[in-house]
Amino acid sequence: MSGAGDSVFVTGGTGHLGPSLLDALLAAGYRVRVLTRHPDRHPWLCDRDVQVVAGNVEARNTFERALARCRYVVHAAGRFSFWGAPESFARTNLHGTLHMLDAARAAGVERFIQVSTVAVIGDPEPGRVIDENCPARPADPYQRSKLEGERVALQFARTHGLPVIVLRPGAFYGPHGRYGFNRLFIEDPLKGLRIQVQDGQRVIFPAYVGDVAAGIVAALTLGRPGETYNLSGESIRHRDANRIVSEEAGIHPFRLSVPGWSMIALAAAWTALSRLTRVEPYYPLNLRSYVFNDWTVSSDKARRELDFRPLNFREGVRRTLAWYREQGVWFVK
């Protein structure tokens, strides 16, 4: 369906996923244009054979001409945070998506990849495996905005005939990021902050960024328009993830087990204080749905249709720790 030299327009190319995604697209032979608000803040882009476009998904007139002669769009831009005003998420994750859809249709794009998140499920039903048919019950403004972005993309596809594919990655971990899963499960333990809630019994859904990038590249040719695909690694209990990180980092495996109620009380107080300080709390209350649910995610559909083959978690952790060392971000004495 595609050949070497096809042009791909990428948003979100300077986020956690971005470097892995750009490298995967270039390795597959695509010509890449990448949108970024602040090209001067990302000099590493000069080391890659990409065309940099200054612009913002929230302002369509800053990028729409750059889509000319692009065959595909990978819309991976998104505002992700455990804290923030609902309108700030909607501006990027909903309205930014609408701007990209309009521009892609005007440019005659042949395939539009909408990068969403498994987190749109919000509060998973206890005991249920999370596949693409699992009902979504978003629990915070970020999750709601991403689900709305999915829905408008698929509705746009039905109304205007734009071939849209929705991808739902798990919780990103891996090189080039220090937030979310990386901070909670890798960086915090390296700093000596070694805690876990409810004896580490809950299940988390890690997705190595290199695997997600490979899944996106595969979806450009193998994905079926109108379909949704989960892209997540093997779901794993918190205590098992903590043990593997400790073994690979060479740190003590001890974790202080904290009662759930005490963490929620701390997060609630910290979040309330942040309304005054306007600084994101270290443990925001919106972490609840991620930490106090079992995220048992199935990527079987992507395995069948996209040949998705995620790394095992231990190898992903090794590569992530190697990146921390390369960056000089290493806290263990």
Domains and CATH numbers, the chain: 7-176+206-234+295-312 (3.40.50.720)
**Mean pLDDT, to the nearest integer, of 98-117?**
97
Instruction: For the chain, give the mean pLDDT.
Output: 95
pLDDT at 127: 93
pLDDT at 5: 72
Question: Measuring CA to CA, which residue among 243, 259, 237 is closest to residue 194?
Answer: 243
Element (H, E) at 260: helix 260-277
Question: What's the pTM?
Answer: 0.95
pLDDT beyond 70 at 165: yes
Q: Sort 57 into a burial class: Cβ within 10 Å, 0-12 / 13-18 / 19+.
A: buried
pLDDT at 154: 97
How far apart are the C-alpha atoms of 24 and 35, rounded to whole Å?
A: 17
pLDDT beyond 70 at 2: no
Q: What is the pLDDT of residues 129-164, one digit of tens each?
A: 999 999 999 999 999 999 999 999 999 999 999 999
pLDDT beyond 60 at 9: yes
pLDDT at 325: 92
**Mean pLDDT, to the nearest integer, of 313-329?**
94
Question: Which residues lie closer than 8 Å to 72 by C-beta, 6 or more apart?
Answer: 2, 6, 7, 8, 9, 30, 109, 110, 111, 112, 113, 220
DSSP per-residue letters across 34-75: EEES-GGG-GGGGGSSEEEEE-BTTBGGGTGGGGTT--EEEE
C-alpha distances out from residue 105 to 158, 165, 221, Å? 12, 14, 19
Question: Measuring CA to CA, which residue among 314, 323, 277 is closest to residue 178?
Answer: 323
Percent of the chain having pLDDT more than 90? Answer: 93
How far apart are the C-alpha atoms of 84 and 145, rounded to whole Å?
A: 12
pLDDT beyond 90 at 41: yes
Coil, helix or strand for 33?
strand
**Mean pLDDT, to the nearest integer, of 270-299?**
94
pLDDT at 328: 83
Question: Which residues lie closer than 8 Å to 24 by C-beta, 6 or more apart?
Answer: 210, 213, 214, 216, 217
Q: What is the pLDDT of residues 213-265, one digit of tens each?
A: 999 999 999 999 999 999 999 999 999 999 999 999 999 999 999 999 999 99
Tell me the pLDDT band of 74, cut-offs 50, 70 and 90. Answer: very high
How far apart are the C-alpha atoms of 330 and 252, rounded to whole Å?
A: 15
pLDDT at 1: 46
Question: Measuring CA to CA, which residue among 241, 48, 316 is closest to residue 36?
Answer: 48
pLDDT beyond 80 at 332: no
Cβ–Cβ < 8 Å for 267, 284: yes
pLDDT at 3: 52
Residue 171 in tokens: 């919780």
Question: Measuring CA to CA, which residue among 98, 115, 109, 100 is closest to residue 155?
Answer: 98
**Mean pLDDT, to the nearest integer, of 165-170?**
98
Q: What is the pLDDT of residues 177-208, one digit of tens each?
A: 999 999 999 999 999 999 999 999 999 999 99
Tell me the pLDDT band of 60, cut-offs 50, 70 and 90. Answer: confident
